[in-house]
Amino acid sequence: SGIVDSDSNPIFEALNLDNAFVDTTISDETDPGPEDTVTVTMTGPANVVEGDTTTDYTVTLSDPAPVGSIVTLAYSYT
């Protein structure tokens, strides 16, 4: 017997997984490769006068960040 709907029609069959197992290996390179790299681009005014307020800068990623990710940008200039 499996799972049935309110009219007793079968929806899912019952599976016996008592002796079931999965064995797998995931292999990845030890160093990041091009497929692991995301490019960050910052656009905005080319020049800012010290002490003046500038317009906003825009930061974009070449690939979308996974849902729930936090991207932190620390920018300094000397």
Q: What is the pTM of this model?
A: 0.46
Q: From first to last of its 78 residues, what are the pLDDT tens digits of the chain?
A: 567 788 888 777 777 788 888 888 888 878 888 888 889 999 999 988 988 999 999 999 999 988 998 888 887 777
DSSP code string of 46-73 = S---TTSPPPPPEEEESSPPPTT-----
Quote the CA–CA distance of 71 and 61 in Å, as a whole number: 10
Question: What local confidence, expressed as pLDDT, does residue 27 receive?
Answer: 85
